[in-house]
Amino acid sequence: MGKDVETYAAELRAAFGRHSRRARQDMDLSQRDFAERVGLDQKMISVIELGQRNLTLLTMAKVSQVLGIPVPAMLQPYRTLSGGDAG
């Protein structure tokens, strides 16, 4: 892999968060409305989207199910339409 595990975990959190935010916005949902659908509070959705917390598999499954995106896809590096990494 070449990266230390902490760096790799941070990249996974960031990818999951970016995919979550983009898909939520594409569904035209506020963080509050999305949180209600997922069964979490709005603050937790914000933390997820910012990649600030390690998530349980259950939380990842809930988020991905509401978004209709498989968890493995949400862990892939986030790419912009131009193909570059999104900041």
Q: Is residue 86 part of a domain?
A: no
Does residue 85 carry a pLDDT above 60?
no
For residue 3, what pLDDT is reported? Answer: 79
Contacts of 4 (CB under 8 A, 6+ apart): none
For residue 81, what pLDDT is reported? Answer: 44
Structure tokens, 24: 């939520």
- What is the distance between the alpha carbons of residues 83 and 55, in angstroms, rounded to a whole number? 27
Note the pLDDT tens digit of each residue in 28-80: 999 999 999 999 999 999 999 999 999 999 999 999 999 999 999 999 987 75
- What is the distance between the alpha carbons of residues 64 and 37, in angstroms, rounded to a whole number? 11
For residue 6, what pLDDT is reported? Answer: 93
Q: Is residue 37 part of a domain?
A: yes
**Structurally, how many domains does the chain consist of?**
1
Q: Is residue 81 part of a domain?
A: no
